[in-house]
Amino acid sequence: MTIKGKAYIAGIYEHPTRHAPDKSTAQLHAEVAKGAIEDAGISKDDVDGYFCAGDAPGGAWPMVDYLGLNTKKLRHVDSTETGGCSYIIHLGHAAEAIAAGKCSIALITLAGKPRTGVMPPRAAGAEVDFESAYGATTHNAYGMCAMRHMHDYGTTSEQLAWIKVAASHHAQYNPHAMLKDVVTVEDVLNSPMISDPLHRMDCCVVSDGGGALIVTTPEIARSLKKPLVKLIGHGEAMKGPRGGKDLDLTYSAGIWSGPRAFAEAGITPKDIKYASIYDSFTITVLMQLEDLGFCKKGEGGKFVADGNLISGVGKLPFNTDGGGLCSNHPVNRGGMTKIIEAVRQLRGEAHPKVQVKNCDLAIAHGTGGLLGVRHAASTAILERV
């Protein structure tokens, strides 16, 4: 059994807003749903599968009702919650449901407003009494990974800075990007230290916004007008300290989700023309590139240096919308925009200055949770037909 080629991404929409104090969170979900439905050229009454995560107010049934989805037709729902990579997992689950005949047109939505106000806290896990007092946040949890990666492999702040530099080179062409200025390695190193060894410019932005996808069958996709983009491989995985044995914060669950996706797709990292890699922090990108097999473990620093991630300059163009480091990070969850930019690249709809030539194979990869504590990862490999 495989989902290879069983599902196509027929509709994408990224909300242009980066700050939405004048809108409700549910409204943003509706606006991105409408955008993806119109991009695909279908009717909302055709949707028979709905996928959402923890950002959807009230969860699946209030959202299905609010969005006015056709409940006589809707026959598959999935509210898998794995933080920022939820939507990459949803993409795989939608393909599984489509392959099994459980739905034929799936809608996936993400939206929220962390820039406008504080997000509701996540429910506590069994670890709460043994961890919550220590103040793990995204900044310091990823700082702990970077600190150990530097210790074990000699990775430097300069190398991490190159990831931000590459993202900024792409963001200058994105009219919606929050940070459009091209920055240098020195700019990153001179920005204030937030949580050692991560500087402010090693961190992503905080933004309101959202995005949505329409995933459908090959037959329906071919009946629509958009360029054809199909899912050919998918993987998901989780990792945590697991009782504290052999703790190793220098790799992520991507070390398992990546090979699963590549095996299903029947390709290798060398075949990838464009990579959307979750960039909550520069270290997130570096570790995931290693884990996915774009370079050996410990060699991520050398791999990302000297513009290797800049479109038209380096060997692996990444996050050509500017990513979370420069463009947006809706709801503190980067998975959705990673898929959307990968689809733009495969359709040939990326900005001409960053469009990868002959882009026929792309990867969208993300993590959710905290790499320095416990997290999920998901990998999707997409092909232009």
Contact positions vs another protein (CB under 8 A): 126-137, 139-141, 143-148, 151, 192-198, 241-245, 247, 249, 372-373
Residue with smaller CB distance to another protein, 49 or 300: 300
How many angstroms separate the CA atoms of 335 and 276, rounded?
9
Give the nearest distance from C-beta 48 to another protein in angstroms: 40
Give the closest residue to 286 by CA, choosing from 371, 344, 343, 183. 371
For helices 282-292 and 254-265, give the axis angle rounded to 10 degrees. 50
* Complex with another protein: residue 129 or 219, whichever CB lies closer: 129
Query: Which C-beta is closer to another protein: that of 72 or that of 134?
Result: 134
Judged by CB, which is closer to another protein: 192, or 352? Answer: 192
138 within 8 A of 283, measured Cβ to Cβ: no
322 touches 171 (CB < 8 A): yes
Least Cα distance to 379 among 371, 367, 100, 300 occurs for 367
Nearer to another protein, 53 or 287 (CB): 287
Residue with tokens 């106000």, as numbered in its chain: 117
Nearer to another protein, 148 or 176 (CB): 148
Between 179 and 371, whose beta carbon lies closer to another protein? 371
Alpha-carbon gap, residue 352 to 174, rounded angstroms: 11
Q: Is 231 left (phi over 0), alpha (psi -120 to 50) or beta?
A: beta
Neighbouring-strand partners of residue 12: 213
Least distance from C-beta 236 to another protein, angstroms? 21
Least distance from another protein to the Cβ atom of residue 243, Å: 3
Q: How far apart are CA 292 and CA 274, in angstroms?
A: 13
Shortest distance in whole angstroms from residue 149 CB to another protein: 9
Question: What does the block give as tokens for 16?
Answer: 């242009």
Provide the minimum distance between the beta carbon of 157 and another protein in the complex, in angstroms, as a whole number: 13
Interstrand relation of 49-51 and 76-78 (parallel, antiparallel or unpaired) = parallel
**Amino acid in the structure at residue 274:** Y
Longest dimension (CA), the chain: 58
Residue 124 or residue 263: which is nearer to another protein going by CB?
A: 124
Least distance CB 194 / another protein (angstroms): 6
Shortest distance in whole angstroms from residue 143 CB to another protein: 3
User: How far apart are CB 147 and another protein at their closest, in Å?
Assistant: 5
Find the helix or strand (DSSP H, E) in which 300 lies: helix 300-304
Q: What are phi and psi of 198, to 5 degrees?
A: -95, 125
Please give the Cα distance from 327 to 163 (Å, whole number). Answer: 14
